[in-house]
Structure 1
Amino acid sequence: MQDYVRRILNSAVYEAAIETPLDRMGPLSERLGREVLLKREDLQPVFSFKLRGAYNKLARLTDAEKQRGVICASAGNHAQGVAYSARRMGVRAVIVMPTTTPSIKVEAVKRLGGEVVIHGDAFDDARLHAMALCDRENLVFVHPYDDPEVIAGQGTIGIELLRQHSGPIAAIYLPIGGGGLAAGVAAYVRFLRPDIRLIGVEPEDAASMKAALDAGRPVPLNEVGIFADGVAVRQAGDETFRLCRELLDEVVTVSTDEICAAIKDIFDHTRSIAEPAGAVSLAGLRRHVETLDRPGAVMAIASGANMNFDRLRHVAERAEIGEHSEALLGVTIPEQPGAYRAFIRLLGGRTITEFNYRIAPGASAQIFVGVRLTRGEAEKREIIDLLRAGGHAVVDMTDNELAKLHVRYMVGGRVGGLAEEMLYRFEFPERPGALLRFLEGLRSDWNISLFHYRNHGSDFGRVLAGIQVPPDERAAFDAFLQDLGYAHWDETNNPAYALFLGTR
């Protein structure tokens, strides 16, 4: 730890990075009953803290190493940090990026002077190609997190946090992808202020550090969620794991909806839009802060703002659920005149955010309804009890991924006489041939009976597919899914499917 504190204090980051402000989030502080402070790393020249570690690494290279040039593999903020730093120092920078990289990020790296090499369908392909180029062209590889100088550069955030707030600090919430930022800040803060709790935060579907801590060593995740792509790391680093295991008090995980709610909080306070990874630590603070049994301020880090514009729709849809201000319900009402009016009367003056219905034969109808909440979970329970007392069957779909991603856009898709349909959610890589590979792997007698696709500006599209597979062929179908290799979830028994899409 002393060695890292020395490295942090001697780091060269301020030749390129700025000391970012520590803002008080007034409305959120009042809501939580505790002072909430936000470290604005989104204001760095490349809109991310990654500049600190990248610049410090390059600054520590010898003159001979700088003459050789540097290389990294990245589709995001690390790429921009390396390119920016290399341009400042007059160093050649080769950046290997997968074909799925959004064009806005490719162009940003080019503008910063990086030599962009597009290779492979995924990050791992790009990384392997970068390592091959590194050896072939005698370049210096710049790791995004598992390097002492990179860790030390990120650790300068800790210097600023302690200097910018002289009062009591109860906890600092640190976002974790590979773990470089968390390890660096924790090394500095733990050395000087061991009384401060240090809480790592990861997405629920990309919790590689938590998996490593549970296993006692870094282990690869089978699947990695792609919403918070800036922290979507399949395996924690060896050095970052060692430091986080020693220095962090605990690691908490947060959902996509909670991250979206934190993005909204940051926007409400700063009028800036954080990327999903940039709001992870604030999401963790919101979830965890009530468990703190000590006085003092709590801190989160807005770690980046490289947000694709077309992802904002998805964030807006999910933010209200994440802050418990919207309920999504599947409700059964009589298929008769006046039923809608009676249903709305039951809800009283509450705001309806969504109402989906399609006529169907029979005595009852299914509606998909969103209701604005002002008192969170307690009010949602009251509404459900009220509707059930009024004779309506109600299914709470607020936390149902199938309902939120697909069903709400497909109400009215029920058909009759459809046999042996299985329903699966997939994450398809956004690359040429991904859908064709899926279709060509299906046997000709397995009919696709339903298909719905959505993309939210990331390198994966979300697909819902209904496939008719006879019971005696389920083993063959399972083998097909394993060979396909795409992330998938069996939703055949999901209540949202039964209500709105299943066979009559």
Structure 2
Amino acid sequence: MLDAVVKRILQARVYDVAVETPLEPARLLSKRLRHTVLMKREDLQPVLSFKCRGAYNAIAHLSASELERGVICASAGNHAQGVALAARTLGIKGVIVMPQTTPDIKVNAVRNLGGQVVLHGDSYDDAYAHARELMDEKGYAFIHPFDDPLVIAGQGTVALEILRQHRGDIDAVFIPVGGGGLLAGMAAYIKYVRPSVKVIAVEAEDSACFAAAFKAGRRVVLPSVGLFADGVAVKQIGKHTFDIARHCVDEVITCSTDEICAAIKDIYDENRSICEPSGALSLAGLKKYAEARDSRGETLVAINSGANMNFDRLRHIAERTELGERREAVFAVTIPEQPGAFKAFCQAIGKRNVTEFNYRYSDSQAAHVFVGIALGGGASERQSVQDGLLRKGYAVVDLSDDEMAKLHGRHLVGGHAGLADERLFRFEFPERPGALMAFLTQLGTQWNISLFHYRNHGAAYGRVLVGLQLGERTLPELRASLDAVGYPYIDESRNPAYHLFLR
């Protein structure tokens, strides 16, 4: 099987649009991790990601009659730009179907490359179905973002370059995974040419479709995926890609949103490039791997796979970076409601820097404060801070891994309502005009909204926190109404931050 894949990689046509990107040392990280860290700079491609390789290779192998009819794809991200660039380079028609929720920066980038953009639906699945309809109607050739042997071969040229650029030993290569095109192509080539090199797949922990398939020994469909690393937000890995990757991958690592944010900052510190979340995923996995091992002096390679970052997302990323590096922890701490209590609390913390302190009067007995504390020693120091406060008699809840507290709670501290029949839900709304009205219309007038918090994060979906009162109705009735809305949600009614600061 690998013979055929590697042959296609060696015959791939990519350099009409792609460039051979450098393999650069990450000097700051190498010193910190005590390994040699190398970064493959696919963020320097003409479309700022590796996707132009596979797209062009697939299109360049079409017949003359297929090229004359044109090509179509469904994509909200980098594949769209790769197809548009390939179509322009070959002088053919390129139709790109994108969800209506796609950020303007990505829509405009495709149009600037000559792609004919069709906006349809609220999700990739909607766009994909419409692209297939147009393919049947117009006779376009469909260019799949990952599950195509020629796309896989084009992406595999990244590995070909790495092994040519670094002739010395390589201990492990970390490859980001969405649908698996880059993973399958690179893993096949690496294991064929230098089988001693470890191939480690890296996924966002809330969209780990390959990890689930790798464990099960077959492809599985995730019920939902997180959207922060939208470039790898895929519910099911491809058939062709899984058939290859399952035999060539040594290990799978999953990373949290905070760990990805920290990797984005690391890349910026190294070379002043701002990678998108999926573009920094590989480095996040490399760091997690290195920090969990006792060995030193290995040569580790990360793929900076893309830099199509919406500027509006930087605020959210900056907020989460310190948590991702474990240089900050956030706690809910209960202190006495009396003069001098805050000063005594600060003395209990010692000389550590307080990065955030949120509080509003609640009652005359106890005060619940949301506090951020700067750390220097990682997870062990975080535990030490908590243990020290507990020994001094404070009630402490660690919120450092609580998504609701970090996304919403810290901005709402002090809003106690005392509503016994309130239930709290965290939603993902499509980021488009009318999304809120559609939510309210579907929900109807039988439920009173008691809390609403939304912040734009520059992504295709907005994060929304909603409080709803049951009144005379039951919780199953409320859940049925929310299910009918159709937006993904999580019940946060038992969240400790909610009970301490909002309930």
Q: Normalising by structure 2, report the TM-score.
A: 0.97
Cα distance in 1 for residues equivalent to 2:184 and 2:297 = 24
Q: 1:64 to 1:24 in 2, by over 3 A?
A: same
> Equivalent residues in 2 for 1:10-409 (5 A)?
10-289=11-290, 290-291=292-293, 296-409=298-411
29-38 or 471-480: bigger deviation: 471-480
Amino acid at match of 1:352: V
**1:461 match: secondary structure:** strand
**2:60 corresponds to which letter in structure 1?**
A
8 A Cα contact 2:35 2:296, kept in partner:
no
2:56 aligned partner, one-letter code: Y
Deviates more, 1:27-36 or 1:178-187: 27-36
Partner of 1:449: 450
- 8 Å CA contact 1:169–1:295 kept in 2: the answer is no
Contact 1:170–1:295 (8 Å) recurs in 2: no
Contact 1:223 1:234 (C-alpha < 8 Å) held by counterparts:
yes
CA 1:428–1:3 in structure 2 vs 1: closer, same or farther (change >3 Å)? same
* Secondary structure of the corresponding residue to residue 14 of structure 1: coil
Q: Distance in 2 between matches of 1:397 and 1:43?
A: 37
Cα distance in structure 1, aligned partners of 2:333 and 2:349: 12
Deviation at 1:470, TM superposition (A): 5.2
**Shift in Å at residue 480 of structure 1?**
2.1
User: What is the distance in 2 between the residues matched to 1:473 and 1:296?
Assistant: 58
| Letter in structure 1 aligned against 2:14 | V
Amino acid at match of 2:413: V
Pairwise CA distance, 1:354: 0.6
Aligned residues: 501
Distance 1:217 1:163, change over 3 A: same
Maintained 8 Å contact 2:34/2:297:
no
| Superposition deviation, residue 494 in structure 1 | 1.0
Distance in 1 of aligned mates of 2:304 and 2:137:
38
* Matches of 1:419 and 1:166, distance apart in 2: 66
Post-superposition Cα deviations, 1:4-54, rounded to whole Å, max 9, x if no partner, equal: 111111111112111111111112111111111111000000000001101
Deviates more, 1:220-229 or 1:387-396: 387-396
Question: 1:441: how far off?
Answer: 3.5
SS at match of 1:13: coil
1:302 maps to amino acid: N
Indicate the RMSD between aligned Cα atoms, in angstroms.
Answer: 1.5
TM-score by length of 1: 0.96
Q: Does 1:476 align with 2:473?
A: no
Q: Work out whether residues 420 and 471 of structure 1, in 8 Å CA contact, stay in contact via their aligned partners in 2.
A: no
Structure 2 runs not aligned, ≥5 long: none
Distance 1:463 1:118 in 2: 24
Question: Unaligned regions of 5+ residues in structure 1, if any?
Answer: none
- Structure 2 SS opposite 1:169: coil
Q: Return the alpha-carbon distance in structure 2 between the equivalents of residues 60 and 395 of structure 1.
A: 58
Q: Deviations over 1:338-393 (max 9, x none)?
A: 11112112222211111111122221111111111111122222222222222211
Q: How far apart in 2 are the matches of 1:428 and 1:108?
A: 24
Residues 289-309 of structure 1 show CA distances to partners (whole Å, capped at 9, x for unaligned) of 334869630111000000000
CA distance in 2 between counterparts of 1:385 and 1:139 reads 63
Question: Matched residues in 2 for 1:111 and 1:432: separation?
Answer: 24
Deviation at 1:249, TM superposition (A): 1.1
Q: Quote the offset at 1:443 in angstroms.
A: 5.4
Distance 2:319 2:465 in 1: 18
Cα shift at 1:314: 0.7
Which deviations, in whole Å up to 9, do the C-alpha atoms of 1:238-263 show, x marking residues without a partner?
10011111111122211101100110
**Alpha-carbon distance change, 295 to 170 in structure 1, aligned in 2, over 3 angstroms:** farther
Equivalent in the alignment of 1:461 = 462
- Residue identity matched to 1:370: G
CA contact (8 A) 1:96 1:130 kept: yes
The farther-off stretch of 300-309 and 458-467 is 458-467
Return 322-331 or 338-347, whichever deviates more: 338-347
Q: Give the Cα separation in 2 of the matches to 1:405 and 1:438.
A: 20
Q: Where does residue 493 of structure 1 map in the other structure?
A: 494
